[in-house]
Amino acid sequence: MDARLRSRLEIETIHELLKELDCYQLLAVAPDCAQQDIDAAFRNESRRLHPDRHAAGASPAFRTQANEVFKAVNDAHRTLRDPDARARYDSERRQGALRLDEATRKEAEAEAAAKNDPSKAARTPKGEKYWKMALQCWNEEDFNGAVMQINFALSFEPTNDVFKEWLGKAKTANDEKKKGKQGNAYKIRL
């Protein structure tokens, strides 16, 4: 069989089964695969199923199918590449969902972004107040002030891991800054 014809038949078949395939099946990996296998599988599947490879001489209907399959592969990768989103997906998959719905995926992406964005770490209004002051002190390289403000924020949110992490960073930066201040060795006293 011609390779182009085989590829087209495969894309048409995947498109027909799209609603029945889960994210692992779309990326052609086992559900218990290692996290680093996800990216490699995505590169392989996206290269193999990319719509531009099959666009030459294809009907508009086939191009639409190829685009939908490719979009589903991208969505599967977006879901599985982040370990937290993957854990959430696995939990929903055990409950019968084949893929994350749009709202759940956006929520997972927002959580991942918040995890990487320290300005969104606070969960209470008072904690947020002191956290913003701590970040301002950090930006101004007033690490002693940052330590103090983070401690205040922690008094309102004692279980906030981001606060604890930044407290350690601020203490280290403050100690480094103190070590760097050795005074002027050439200062003349009169």
Residue 41 binned pLDDT confidence (cut-offs 50, 70, 90)? very high
Spatial separation of the C-alpha atoms in residues 119 and 35, rounded to whole Å: 28
Instruction: Let me know whether 112 and 146 are in one domain.
Output: no
- Eight-state DSSP code of residue 160: -
Distance from C-alpha of 135 to C-alpha of 162, rounded to nearest angstrom: 12
Residue of 99, 68, 73 lying closest to 85 (CA atoms): 99
One domain for residues 93 and 7:
yes
110 lies in some domain: yes
| Final residue before a domain boundary, out of 116, 136, 155 | 116
Same domain, 126 and 143: yes
The pLDDT of 86-93, averaged and rounded, is: 84
Residues 76 and 163 occupy one common structural domain: no
Angstrom distance (rounded) from CA 132 to CA 153? 9
Q: Tell me the per-residue pLDDT of 47-84, one tens digit each, with 9 for 90 and over.
A: 988 888 877 777 888 888 889 999 999 988 988 888 88
Question: How far apart (Å, rounded) are the C-alpha atoms in residues 36 and 73?
Answer: 17
pLDDT of residue 29: 92
Q: What is the spatial distance between Cα 62 and Cα 21, in angstroms, rounded to a whole number? A: 19
pLDDT at 88 over 90: no
Domain region containing 126: 118-180
